[in-house]
């Protein structure tokens, strides 16, 4: 299994598109940091206008934690695109290029090939969230220093700097789970299709449609909106609440897990039962 | 000795289209086996079933007497193949592609072994070339190297001469003969380029619309059959009159201004040739038409 995972990782990281996402994240974070740095003297007003009601900075000075929180709010909407770029190409890219034939005639059970691809996708995803953690939190702290932040939830919460490293770590871990849902959705479409663009595009269309549908304020749609995965993607926010509603958090986690395993199961059967006719 | 590969009554349908309708064949160890048929005859589907890329609806595939579903790993470890065309990772070098391919067979060849394998197929000095920069001939050679890197018993080549120029085809033919004669491999080669196949195969099968048409050794199928002879002459009428007296020729006709055609048998050709020279007519050329092509056309004409 080690050899197969090595080969899958090698292939993933030999593709330029793998780096496009990572470079985009680093550039976005750097731009945000630069924006804060350039305006640090008038940061109160700047942050208020940028963040709306998410953070209030009254009595708080600009610090690395504040910048990272802002980065996470900005990126969690856009990260699915970056994640889908790699997992959406994972199987369909091989179908498209014809390399699937060479892969499937190796003396390896298909389930092993499937899980090797899944693990390679998960490692990429882990690298994505680690890049956010390192560049968003660690670098921001080095540039702007450590400090408290204020977060708007149902109430305003002031979170002390000594507990923020733990909260960010939990937040990143929870966002990893949310992104795995998107990764598996793209992976599932990748197992159905024979060109590498369609799974990425379809994943994004579903994400956008669900986001828009989830924001419609009609009573009629409320029960459906509750079970859309996009409604629960901001799971990481719970790690920044002073008194998190654990029931709601577990409910979100439970719904995301159902999606995550459903997409993975469908992809598994599609891949292992597939006739390779290309 | 039992056949190394045996296919029994294989059926496969894609929705309403019956791609295979009871194909059966057997391949003996150490031979070059030709798998022939028109486009859409079912060659690639059979090979894909054999390589477990496609699940047949019914029928049985045996490797050394064992059903391949029960020994899939053992069977695939014993096989090196090119299916349709050799596709590799475009951005990677030939060396890397070959290494990754070997790793999936559970091998971890060192650079020396990889270079030796590339050398064997004539890619010495091209180790660092990216796959996307390769000519079709180089890609085909890399496909061969990937098929050989784990030292399999059986090589399966599905349309290996696709896209090759005449020089590439000659080189490929020599490489296949080298694999058989020096490396003692069993080779299954599917193709519709009949002139290429007839030069190298030991036995063959012709299939048409998913069913067997004929299977046998190349000697039985080619040399026992009738052959067409074309004779170019400036005096066709006179030549026809003289040939009509020969017992080695039949169906003698004048096809074009200077061309006489007739039927004979492979065995009778030397004597017929001698007789025609003795007829003392001006002969420009004397040649037998491609034998396999005639057999193929005859068997698949319906």
Over residues A80-108, the mean pLDDT reads 87
Residue A48 pLDDT greater than 60, yes or no:
no
Over residues A91-102, the mean pLDDT reads 86
Residue of chain B whose alpha carbon sits nearest to that of A5 = B104
Q: For the packed helices A246-273 and A161-192, what is the interaxial angle rounded to 10 degrees?
A: 30
- How high is the pLDDT of residue A52? 52
For residue A158, give Cα distances in angstroms to A118, A152, B224, B240, B267. Answer: 39, 9, 95, 110, 101
Give, for all 302 residues of chain B, the pLDDT tens digit.
778 898 888 898 888 888 888 888 888 888 999 888 877 888 889 999 999 999 999 999 999 888 998 888 899 999 998 888 888 888 889 989 999 989 988 888 888 888 988 888 888 888 888 988 888 888 888 888 888 888 899 999 888 877 677 777 788 888 888 888 888 889 999 887 777 777 788 888 888 888 777 777 776 666 666 777 888 888 888 888 888 888 788 888 887 778 888 888 777 888 888 888 888 888 888 887 656 766 777 777 66
Q: Does A108 touch chain B (CB under 8 A)?
A: yes
- How high is the pLDDT of residue A47? 55
Instruction: Determine, yes or no, domain membership for A276.
Output: no
Report whether A116 contacts A5 (CB < 8 A). Answer: yes
- How high is the pLDDT of residue B238? 84
Domain range enclosing A247? 2-270
- B100 with A10: Cβ contact below 8 A: yes
- Total domain count, chain A: 1
How far off is chain A from B140, nearest CA to CA, in Å?
A: 13
The chain-wide mean pLDDT, for chain A, equals: 84
Q: Does A98 touch chain B (CB under 8 A)?
A: yes
How many other CB atoms are there within 10 angstroms of residue A163's CB atom? 10
Q: B193-209 burial, b if ≥16 CB within 10 A, otherwise e?
A: ebebbbebbbbbbbbbb
pLDDT digits (tens, 9 = 90+) for A246-256: 888 899 999 99
Interatomic CA distance for residues B164 and B122, integer angstroms? 15
Chain A residues with beta carbon closer than 8 angstroms to that of B76? 105-107
Chain A residues with beta carbon closer than 8 angstroms to that of B52? 104-105
DSSP characters for A25-45? HHHHHHHHHHHHHHTGGGHHH
Which residue of B53, B55, B148, B188 is the best one to mutate when testing the A interface, meaning the one whose CB has the most A CBs within 10 A?
Answer: B53
Residue A50 pLDDT greater than 80, yes or no:
no
Instruction: Determine, yes or no, domain membership for A218.
Output: yes
- Asked if domains B5-215 and B224-299 share a fold, the reply is no
Tell me the range of A184-188, A272-276, B200-204, B292-296 where mean pLDDT is highest.
Answer: A184-188
CATH number of the structural domain B224-299: 3.30.70.100
Share of residues in chain A with pLDDT > 70 (%) = 92
- B79 with A105: Cβ contact below 8 A: yes
- How high is the pLDDT of residue A112? 92
Instruction: Determine, yes or no, domain membership for A278.
Output: no
How far off is chain A from B247, nearest CA to CA, in Å?
A: 52
Instruction: Determine, yes or no, domain membership for A196.
Output: yes
- How high is the pLDDT of residue A43? 65
Instruction: Determine, yes or no, domain membership for A156.
Output: yes
pLDDT digits (tens, 9 = 90+) for A221-265: 888 888 898 888 888 888 888 777 888 889 999 999 999 999 999
Q: Does domain B5-215 have CATH number 3.40.50.620?
A: no
Delimit the domains of chain B by residue range: 5-215, 224-299
How far off is chain A from B94, nearest CA to CA, in Å?
A: 14
Instruction: Determine, yes or no, domain membership for A98.
Output: yes
- DSSP at B289: P
Contact residues for A53 (Cβ-Cβ < 8 A; gap 6+): A152
Report whether B238 contacts B258 (CB < 8 A). Answer: no
Over residues A164-187, the mean pLDDT reads 90
Q: What is the ipTM metric for this complex?
A: 0.76
Residue of A55 and B83 predicted with greater confidence: B83
Torsions phi, psi of A150, nearest 5? -115, 135
Using alpha carbons, select from B230, B210, B213 the residue that is nearest to residue B291: B230
> If pLDDT is split at 50, 70 and 90, which confidence band does A165 have?
confident
- How high is the pLDDT of residue A202? 93
- How high is the pLDDT of residue B17? 86
């Amino acid at each position: 299994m080690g050899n197969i995972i090595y080969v899958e990782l090698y292939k993933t990281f030999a593709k330029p598109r793998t780096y496009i996402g990572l470079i985009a994240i680093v550039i976005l974070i750097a731009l945000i940091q630069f924006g804060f740095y350039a305006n640090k003297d008038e940061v109160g007003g700047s942050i208020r206008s940028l963040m709306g009601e998410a953070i209030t900075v009254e009595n708080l000075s600009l610090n690395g934690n504040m910048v990272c929180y802002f980065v996470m709010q900005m990126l969690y909407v856009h990260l699915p695109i970056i994640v889908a770029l790699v997992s959406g190409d994972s199987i369909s890219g091989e179908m498209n290029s014809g390399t699937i034939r060479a892969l499937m005639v190796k003396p390896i059970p298909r389930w092993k090939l499937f899980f090797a691809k899944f693990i390679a996708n998960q490692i990429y995803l882990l690298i994505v969230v680690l890049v956010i953690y390192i560049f968003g939190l660690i670098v921001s702290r080095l540039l702007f220093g450590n400090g408290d932040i204020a977060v708007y939830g149902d109430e305003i919460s002031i979170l002390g700097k000594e507990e923020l490293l733990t909260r960010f770590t939990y937040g990143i871990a929870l966002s990893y789970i949310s992104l795995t849902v998107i990764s598996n959705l793209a992976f599932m479409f990748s197992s159905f299709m024979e060109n590498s663009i369609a799974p990425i595009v379809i994943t994004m269309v579903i994400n956008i449609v669900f986001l828009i549908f989830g924001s419609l304020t009609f009573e009629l749609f409320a029960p459906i909106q509750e079970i859309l995965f996009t409604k629960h993607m901001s799971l990481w926010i719970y790690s920044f609440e002073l008194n998190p509603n654990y029931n709601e958090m577990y409910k979100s986690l439970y719904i995301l897990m159902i999606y995550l395993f459903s997409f993975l199961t469908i992809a598994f059967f599609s891949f292992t039962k597939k006739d390779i006719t290309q | 000795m039992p056949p190394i590969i045996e296919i029994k009554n294989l059926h496969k349908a894609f929705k309403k289209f019956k791609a295979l309708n009871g194909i059966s064949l057997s391949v003996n160890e150490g031979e070059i086996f030709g798998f022939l048929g028109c486009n859409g005859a079912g060659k690639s589907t059979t090979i894909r079933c054999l390589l477990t890329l496609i699940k047949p609806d019914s029928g049985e595939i045996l490797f050394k007497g064992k059903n391949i579903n029960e020994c899939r790993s053992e069977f695939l470890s014993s096989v090196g193949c090119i299916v349709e065309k050799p596709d590799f990772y475009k951005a990677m070098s030939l060396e890397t592609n070959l290494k990754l391919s070997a790793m999936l067979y559970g091998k971890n060849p060192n650079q020396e072994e990889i270079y030796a394998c590339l050398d064997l197929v004539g890619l010495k000095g091209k180790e660092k070339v990216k796959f996307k920069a390769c000519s079709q001939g180089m890609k085909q050679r890399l496909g061969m190297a990937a098929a050989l890197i784990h030292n399999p018993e059986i090589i399966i080549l599905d349309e290996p001469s696709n896209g090759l120029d005449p020089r590439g085809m000659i080189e490929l033919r020599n490489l296949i003969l080298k694999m058989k004669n020096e490396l003692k491999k069993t080779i299954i080669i599917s193709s519709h380029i009949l002139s290429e196949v007839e030069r190298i195969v030991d036995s063959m099968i012709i299939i048409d619309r998913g069913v067997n048409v004929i299977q046998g050794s190349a000697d039985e199928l080619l040399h026992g059959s009738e052959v067409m002879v074309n004779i170019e002459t400036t005096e066709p009428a006179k030549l026809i009159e003289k040939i009509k007296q020969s017992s080695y020729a039949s169906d003698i006709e004048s096809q074009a201004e200077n061309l006489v055609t007739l039927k004979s048998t492979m065995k009778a050709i030397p004597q017929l040739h001698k007789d025609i020279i003795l007829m003392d007519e001006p002969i420009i050329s004397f040649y037998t038409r491609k034998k396999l092509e005639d057999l193929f056309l005859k068997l698949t004409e319906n």
